[in-house]
């Protein structure tokens, strides 16, 4: 067995283990990366530089800022206001989903669900209704909007790092409307799906205010970070280092503020961060890099290109909905990381700009996770919170909302992408 075949074997076994043992993904990814180095497929230097350190800086930095933002209770306070001012339960739930989507565009999806979930559960208890559908709606809303901006979720960061896209490129890319608008079109249409599920809840609700804002400073830090990332687009058009540095600086500011003002333990705060996902991302970068270095990405791209011939629309459609179906069962981070080089190679073979396939791939991979309760980390967290409350979510329960929501949102965004980026 030569090194290229061994690299492919390690890659396939790792991805299979990701599916079978989702809780052990970080250990599997790191172990596989070490194995690639020990077998001589990659040198230590190659493995180091296969990791996109700019993306890692953005992920860790925004994770710290989001954690402090969540602890400030500003999002939960805003959710309470929305619930109290909504004309009935149906609109309270829909407005909570809108707030979830807004927060998720700037804060990692799991953190967003943890921010909003207590309000949803409180509302359900007060009105004596089953919170299951409400929590599922919050999870899918979070996953959808996470793809809207560069800092919304790891898949967006992966795309940005791979395609050298800066923060503003997610709004307008080379003079055309970009990912943000495709996601919002999908959100607008899928909002009708959520309305259909909650339309019968007509009772008026009032929550007793319990949330007290601890400080507006973390909100200010988050807003300034977003503005700084947008401004950095002019100084780092190649998305090579400034975004990661900025996020780490603002993360450090958040840590110092927590230590000085709230007297929180820095060590305890750092330990509480999602380090498992951090190491998982690093391992995935190395795994995918190994099959790129050994030429397998070009082989797969050649096969898919031969399958679609010169039919660009067929290739685009196949890529998007293949991503949707697979992401319902496979974590979208390793899937997207593996498929980004394939999308570029396919575009080159079809003699067209890569943006159509890259954007379609992100849409399919990010939204496709909404089909099942294991398709995205936010779904798993939402189901876990429901289980603690005594509600067990089956695949059928989740798919009842997830399937129509997903295919409605994907179809709208997919068509928008075709008409905007195919020429």
Q: Domain spans of the chain?
A: 3-421
If we measure between CA atoms, which residue out of 166, 116, 109, 197 comes closest to residue 379? 109
Dihedral sign, CA of 375, 150, 65, 33?
positive
The CA-atom distances, in angstroms, between 19 and each of 14, 44, 332 are 9, 27, 11
Question: How does pLDDT run along the chain (423 residues), one tens digit per residue?
Answer: 788 889 889 988 987 887 788 778 788 989 999 999 999 888 998 899 888 787 788 778 877 887 788 778 787 777 777 777 777 888 888 888 988 888 888 777 777 787 777 777 777 776 677 889 989 999 999 888 888 888 887 888 888 888 888 888 899 998 899 999 999 999 999 999 999 998 888 776 665 566 678 888 888 888 888 788 777 766 665 556 777 888 899 988 988 888 777 777 767 667 766 677 788 878 888 887 887 788 776 777 677 777 777 788 888 898 898 888 877 776 677 778 778 888 888 888 788 888 899 999 999 988 888 888 877 778 877 887 787 778 888 888 888 999 999 999 999 999 999 999 887
- Whether the CA torsion 230, 233, 236, 238 is positive or negative: it is positive
CA dihedral 359, 26, 20, 334 (to 10 degrees): 10
Which secondary-structure segment (H or E) carries 95? helix 89-104
pLDDT value of residue 67: 77
Strands 172-173 and 176-177: antiparallel
Cα 21-27-32 angle, rounded to 5 deg:
100
Residue linked to tokens 């896209």? 165
Q: For the stretch 396-414, what's the b/e string if a residue is b when 16 or more beta carbons lie within 10 angstroms of its beta carbon?
A: ebbbebbebbbbbbbbbbb
What's the whole-model pTM score? 0.74
Cα–Cα distance, 112 to 70 (Å, whole number): 8
Q: What is the pLDDT of residue 193?
A: 92
């Amino acid at each position: 067995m030569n090194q290229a075949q061994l690299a492919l074997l390690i890659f396939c076994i790792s991805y299979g283990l990701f599916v079978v043992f989702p809780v052990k993904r970080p250990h599997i990814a790191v172990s596989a990366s070490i194995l690639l180095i020990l077998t001589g497929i990659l040198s230590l230097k190659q493995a180091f530089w296969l990791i996109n350190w700019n993306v890692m800086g953005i992920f860790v930095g925004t994770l710290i800022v989001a954690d402090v933002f969540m602890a400030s209770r500003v999002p939960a306070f805003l959710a309470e206001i929305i619930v109290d001012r909504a004309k009935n339960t149906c609109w309270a739930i829909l407005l909570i989903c809108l707030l979830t989507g807004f927060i998720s565009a700037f804060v990692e999806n799991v953190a967003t669900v943890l921010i909003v979930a207590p309000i949803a559960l409180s509302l359900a208890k007060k009105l004596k209704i089953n919170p299951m559908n409400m929590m599922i709606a919050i999870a899918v809303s979070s996953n959808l909007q996470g793809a809207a901006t560069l800092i919304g979720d790891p898949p967006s960061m992966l795309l940005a790092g791979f395609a050298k896209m800066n923060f503003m490129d997610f709004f307008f890319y080379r003079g055309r409307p970009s990912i943000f608008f495709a996601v919002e079109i999908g959100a607008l249409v899928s909002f009708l799906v959520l309305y259909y599920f909650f339309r019968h809840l007509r009772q008026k609700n009032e929550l007793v205010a319990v949330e007290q804002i601890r400080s507006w400073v973390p909100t200010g830090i988050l807003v300034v970070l977003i503005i700084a990332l947008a401004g950095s687009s002019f100084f780092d058009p190649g998305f090579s280092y400034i975004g990661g540095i900025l996020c780490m600086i603002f993360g450090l500011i958040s840590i110092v503020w927590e230590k000085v003002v709230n007297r929180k333990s820095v060590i305890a705060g750092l330990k509480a961060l999602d380090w498992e996902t951090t190491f998982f991302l690093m391992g995935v970068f190395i795994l995918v890099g190994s099959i790129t270095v050994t030429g397998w990405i070009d082989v797969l791209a050649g096969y898919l290109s031969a399958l679609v011939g010169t039919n660009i629309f067929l290739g685009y459609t196949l890529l998007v909905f293949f991503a949707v179906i697979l992401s319902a069962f496979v974590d979208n981070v390793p899937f997207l990381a593996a498929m980004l080089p394939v999308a570029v190679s396919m575009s080159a073979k079809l003699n067209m700009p890569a943006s159509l396939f890259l954007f379609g791939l992100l849409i399919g991979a990010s939204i496709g996770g909404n089909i099942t309760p294991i398709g995205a980390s936010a779904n798993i967290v939402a189901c876990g919170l429901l289980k603690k409350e005594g509600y067990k979510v089956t695949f059928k329960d989740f798919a009842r909302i997830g399937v129509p929501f997903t295919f409605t949102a994907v179809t709208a965004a997919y068509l928008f992408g075709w008409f905007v980026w195919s020429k």
